Amino acid sequence: MNEKDWLIIRAVYHHKNITRAAEHLYTSQPALSYRLKQIERKLAIKLFDEEAKGMVFSAQGEYLASQADKILRDLQQLKINLHTLNEQQQGELRIGVSSNYAAYRLPALLARFHQQYPGVSLDLISGYSEEIFQSLQRDDIHLALVKDDFNWKEGKQLIDEDNYYLISQNEIDFGLLPHLPQIKIHHGPHITQLIERWWNANFSLAPRIAMTVDKLEVCLAMVNHGLGYAIVSSYLPWSDDLYRLPISVGGQAVTNKTWLLYRHANDNAPMVLPFIALLNECAAEARRDKNG
C-alpha cells in the first residue's frame, strides 16, 4: 500500500461515508470506490461488514484503519529525514500568521523550532487572516496560520480550536444584552460574521457598542474594570471572578479555529515539513494538557 491508500483508509474511516470522503480527498466517488476494491484485492481482505447496515468496517478494516495515522506520521517523518539528511539545515521559512495567534500561541513554537534548526532564517508576517491567505496564494509565504480554511485545495490541517465566550465583570441578564455596553474587539471579517450569526439568532436589536479596541489585552482590561461585556475566545487565561457564558448557534458552539494552509509541492522550502511536524507535536501536547 502506498501513502494515497492510507489517506483513503483514514478518510473513509473518519467520515463513514464515501461521498464525504471523496470530497475530502478531492476525488470522485466512483474513483474512490474502485481504489477501495483494489486495496481489498491486494490484501485479500474485506474492509466492510457486508451484512451490516450502512458503512461498518469489518474487524480487518478496523485494524487497518487503526494503523493509518501511525503509518502516515512515519511516512511524514521519513520525508523530513530525507529532506534534512546531510544538509546544514539552513535556508528561509516564510510564515504568515493571524495576529492573535502570532501574539499568544506562536512565540513558544518558534522558540522550539529555532532551537532545533538554528540555521534557518524565519520571516514572519502577521495580520488579518484574509490578507495572510492572499499572501499564500501569491506564494509570498510558505505557510499560513489563519482563522478559516478558505476552501483551500492543497495542504490544510486544523491545528487549534478555542470556544467563544461572553464575559463580563458581573453576571448579567441575557435578555438585556442589547441594552448593555459592549466592548467590541476587532476580530476581522470571518470571526465577525460568526459572532453576528450568534447575535442575530438571539436578538432583533443591534448591540450597543460602547467602545472598539484592537487588542485582546485591552478588551480584557476594560471588562475587568466593569466598563462593559465582551465576546472573546479563550486565548488568554481570565480572572476566575469574571462571569462567562459560552455562545452557540443551533446547539453548536461558536469556535475560534486556526488552520494551517500550505502547498503540497514546495521544493524550494525544505524546512516546511519539519515545521509542520513540530506544529503537530505542539498541538498534540496542547490537547493533552487541555484534557488533563
Rounded CA gap, 66 and 186, in Å? 43
Over residues 202-223, mean pLDDT: 91
Rounded CA gap, 190 and 151, in Å? 13
Max Cα distance, the chain (Å): 68
Q: Where are the domains of the chain?
A: 3-84, 91-160+257-290, 162-255
Q: How confident is the model at residue 182 (pLDDT cuts 50, 70, 90)?
A: very high
Does pTM top 0.75 for this prediction?
no
Contact call for residues 163 and 254 (beta carbons, < 8 A): yes
- The hierarchical CATH code for the domain 162-255 is 3.40.190.290
Q: Express each pLDDT in 240-276 by its tens digit.
A: 889 999 998 888 888 888 999 998 866 556 788 889 9
The answer to whether domain 3-84 has CATH 1.10.10.10 is yes
- The hierarchical CATH code for the domain 91-160+257-290 is 3.40.190.10
Q: Mean pLDDT of all residues in the chain?
A: 86
Of 80 and 112, the one with more pLDDT: 112
Q: Express each pLDDT in 32-69 by its tens digit.
A: 889 899 998 888 989 888 777 778 888 888 898 888 88
**The pLDDT value given to residue 203:** 94
Q: Which candidate, 116, 112, 4, places its Cα nearest to that of 68?
A: 4
For residue 62 the three cell numbers come to 478496523
Is the per-residue pLDDT at 216 higher than 80? yes
> Do 91-160+257-290 and 162-255 fold alike per CATH?
yes
